A and B are shown apart, each in its own frame.
Chain A
Amino acid sequence: MSTKALVLAAALAAALLPATASAQGKYVHANNSNYDTLDPHAVFDVGRAATRINMYDGLYRWVDNPPKQIPWLAESHEISPDGLTWTFKLRKDVKFHDGTLMTADDVVYSMERILAVKRGVGGLLGPMVAPGNTKALDAGTVQFKLSEPSALFGALVADIAVVNSKLVKRNEKDGDWGQAWLAKNEAGTGSYKLKRYDPAIGFIAERFKDHFYPWGPKYFDEIEFRTVLETNTRILGLIKGDYHGLDGYLTPDAIDRLRAAPGVQVIEEESMRVFQVSFNNQRPPLDDVNLRKALSYAFDYDAIINDIMKGTVIRNPTIIPNNMWGAPKDVKGYTYDLEKAKEYLAKVKQPIRPLAMGTLAGFSDTEQVAAILQNGARKIGVEIKLESAPWGVVSSRTQNDDQMYDIVGYPKSTFYADPNNWLGELFGSRYIPTRNVARYRNPEVDKRIEKAMLATTPQAERQRLNEEAARIVFDDAPGIWVYNTKWFGPYSAKVGGVRFSPIGNGQEMRWAYFK
């Protein structure tokens, strides 16, 4: 395994280098989401990733772009031929921040905790592993017995953040798995150790000298992640030098301003965040493929990509990000063509009532995409009414068949690097309605997705199955796929070593340093 060799080389290099590393100062990051809880098992979104990946470790770790997993708390793993038993060999030199050694018991406790609190990654792992099916074979070996031979489990082990079981158990209250305590305290093994936390402000963490993974010659002594909701404040702060880094999904106008500012660098990476619009495929009139296609042709892709996003995003013709394996490379995508839109509209036999479309309040990208669709639809004589609501409301309405909008659009981020993250979750019938809010159901697609999901299917076969399924979905137009986001990481020019991965979005700070 080449990654292993790399890790070893890095370890050697670190050991040989003289310990010259002195005070490297404090890195201050301004983030657009709240760090309202520190519990690594409670949240699973990109906005709050910094707490999970800097203070906690998973069995493996996603790095680089395209993302790959490197051994982390676990050195290696084996899968039984039936794909149901996964056995991980753990490192023996991993210390928690309080000095205790991490053992397989901690992994078992963490997994049970994830399944019990049912938040964050628990929603994905829940159907794969039943409580009680994680066992410590010995102090350095942990075994998961899966309920189904899911290949996705392998993509999710990076998110099994391991907590210090002894410490958390001491702070449990009324069998809450320490939820109240872990919300504002930290019990991890991660590269940084919590120093100060205020949910209204953010957190400061200091470097954990004894972290198992060797530190490079340069690093930050302290990292501070501060919540700064207002985009302009983050931008001005970076330009003035108050902050050293920002979250990477800014508007193109903001990126232009940052590029022009001295002392600021903008690191550009292709990301995996597809802006998609889902139609309600089960409710008339959008159960008619002709209407769905008509709308797909009535959407002005250029207006969004070139004018509003100023070319900072790339057209993504299918639901799978272009840069993900499994994306069919030959599909060209729908174009803005009102004539074709009208042709398809003419084939719609049933009457078309005004359609309701949900947008996310405060997310101008969703509002602008919706506005463009509304405008195009109006030109072919279809009325769309926009309803703006906070994410919580939109999300809960998508889960209810009666309250589901006719159309709803939002970007689909990367939670794990597998085509299933996009194609399977949005259009596989097993995810109706949780993530397949389009309620799209096609046996031909299901057959392929289900087979591609199995750990027992060879990789080449999985790729082919995903490509085929994506083509079928494309022809059925159950949604509109607009663009794949680029990540523009704005950092102070002094910062070096930023290691971007679409999972975590460059917020893992252990690799970075001041030049």
Chain B
Amino acid sequence: MRSLRRFLADRAALLGTVLILLLVLAAVLAPVLAPYPSDVFDFHTANRLRPPSDAHWLGTDRMGSDILSRLLFGARITIAIAVIAVGTAVVIGVPIGLVAGFYGGWPGDILMRVSDVFLAVPQIVLAIAIAQTLGPSIENVILALSLTYWPFWARLVYAETRSLKNEVFVESAIALGASPLRVMVMHVLPNIASAIIVRTSIGMGATILTAAALGFLGLGAPSPTPEWGRMIAESREFLPDAWWYATAPGIAIFLVVMGFNLLGDGLRDILDPRIRRGAAGKA
């Protein structure tokens, strides 16, 4: 209860939550909110590259489609990519970290070395290499991101599990004859959940940025999918005249990523007091 009150008092974290809620709202209500829902597929080429107006609040794109409508539907893709990719990374990374940390020894070493290999390259580089190889599609972007992000969770869980292993309650559970699986799931996992949640929130922002970069490079979903990074890439050749074209999706990405980052910061303050505010985050 106290945590909740503290969270509500943190205006930045609250703002982050609001931003994320807006994203979810946009995604769910896209068909209702969009002024021209059919513009996700439909073109009005006679009407292309029009600046913002009453009819098109955010202007139109190179095929004459309404940018606002496409942006709203794009929110669905953003959410899908971020949630599935991060979710998969968690599902891969957490068990690996848990097992490696719990058993230690050479199996743990090997698992951690494998994750080291993945961490040896900046994530964007590996994601690009994988996405390029598999071919441009949303599924492959998600796969590339999950494959590159799981080591972060594996590392985190590994470190936390190892320090917990020597705690009295874990040792006593083992001594009482609890199976390793039971100890891991019932005793270790709940105690490291908050660290995982914090990492996941921050990871969502980073994932959205990387996914947008992949889309920008043409490795994401093919047109006419209203993926935000792809929309920015398409706008590039029209930039000097059609300033509105790149602006809208860019700001959308910015707000959503900021939402997750603020939320992550706030959650960390509450759930993970060992880490100071401002002492994490990657360039």
**Which residues of A does B touch, CB under 8 Å?**
230-232, 236, 251, 253-254, 257, 300, 303-304, 307-308, 359, 361-362, 364, 367-368, 370-372, 374-375, 378, 385-390, 393
Contacts and interface: CB of A to CB of B under 8 A. Distances in A.
Nearest to B234: A364
Contacts of B64: 307
Interface string B12-48: 0000000000000000000000000000011101101
B43 A375 contact: yes
Contact of A375 (B41, B135, B237): B41
B43 A371 contact: yes
A254 B241 CA distance: 10
A368 B63 contact: yes
Nearest to B47: A307
Nearest to B241: A253
A303 B237 contact: no
B224 to A, nearest CB: 6
Contact of B45 (A231, A257, A307, A385): A307
Given A367-B223, A368-B63, A232 B136 contact: no
Contact of B136 (A304, A374, A375, A388): A388
B224 A257 contact: no
A232 B223 contact: no
Given A231-B237, A232-B239, A308 B45 contact: yes
B237 to A, nearest CB: 5
29 contacts: A230-B236, A232-B236, A232-B239, A253-B49, A253-B238, A257-B241, A303-B43, A307-B45, A307-B64, A308-B63, A359-B223, A361-B136, A361-B218, A364-B237, A368-B62, A368-B63, A371-B63, A371-B223, A371-B224, A372-B43, A372-B45, A374-B224, A375-B41, A386-B222, A387-B135, A387-B137, A387-B222, A388-B223, A389-B135
Contacts of B41: 374-375, 378
Contact of B135 (A253, A362, A368, A393): A393
A308 B48 contact: yes
A367 B233 CA distance: 13
B240 interface: yes
Contacts of B238: 253
Contact of A364 (B48, B62, B224, B240): B62
Q: Is the interface of B mostly helix, strand, loop or mixed?
A: loop
Between B49, B135, B222, B241, the greatest number of chain A beta carbons within 10 A of the residue's beta carbon is seen for B222
Contact of B222 (A300, A308, A359): A359
A408 to B, nearest CB: 13
A387 B234 contact: no
A388 B63 contact: no
Interface string B125-140: 0000000000111000
A236 B136 CA distance: 31
A307 B46 contact: yes
Q: Is the interface of A mostly helix, strand, loop or mixed?
A: helix
Interface in B61-97: 62-64
A375 B62 contact: no
Contacts of B135: 387, 389, 393
Given A388-B222, A393-B135, 12 more contacts: A232-B236, A253-B238, A304-B45, A308-B62, A361-B136, A362-B218, A374-B41, A375-B42, A387-B135, A387-B137, A388-B218, A390-B218
Interface in B176-201: none
Interface of B: 41-43, 45-46, 48-49, 62-64, 135-137, 218, 222-224, 234, 236-241
A100 B239 CA distance: 51
Contacts of A374: 41, 224
B60 to A, nearest CB: 12
Given A362-B218, A371-B224, A389-B136, A307 B237 contact: no
Contacts of A362: 218
A234 to B, nearest CB: 11
B45 to A, nearest CB: 3
A346 B236 CA distance: 41
A371 B41 CA distance: 9
Q: Closest 6 A-B residue pairs measured CB to CB?
A: A307-B45, A303-B45, A388-B222, A361-B218, A386-B222, A307-B46
A308 B64 CA distance: 9
B136 A387 contact: yes
A364 B41 CA distance: 17
A229 to B, nearest CB: 11
Contacts of B42: 375
A65 B236 CA distance: 33
A307 B223 CA distance: 19
B76 to A, nearest CB: 18
B63 A232 contact: no
A253 B232 CA distance: 17
Nearest to A253: B238
A390 B224 CA distance: 17
Nearest to A307: B45
Contacts of B223: 359, 367, 370-371, 386, 388
Given A307-B48, A367-B223, A232 B240 contact: yes
B136 A257 contact: no
B38 to A, nearest CB: 10
Contacts of B239: 232
A254 B49 CA distance: 13
Contacts of B224: 371, 374, 386
Contacts of A370: 223
Contacts of A385: 222
Contacts of A236: 240
Contacts of A300: 45
A190 to B, nearest CB: 33
B203 to A, nearest CB: 28
Nearest to A362: B218
B36 to A, nearest CB: 14
B245 to A, nearest CB: 12
Contacts of A231: 237
A393 B222 CA distance: 15
Nearest to B233: A362
A300 B136 CA distance: 26
A232 B237 CA distance: 7
A308 B218 CA distance: 21
A338 to B, nearest CB: 14
A82 to B, nearest CB: 49
A125 B42 CA distance: 46
Contacts of B234: 364
Contacts of B137: 387
A254 B242 CA distance: 12
Nearest to B224: A371
A476 to B, nearest CB: 29
B215 to A, nearest CB: 11
Nearest to A393: B135
Between B41, B45, B46, B238, the greatest number of chain A beta carbons within 10 A of the residue's beta carbon is seen for B45
A386 B63 CA distance: 16
A388 B140 CA distance: 13
Contacts of B218: 361-362, 388, 390
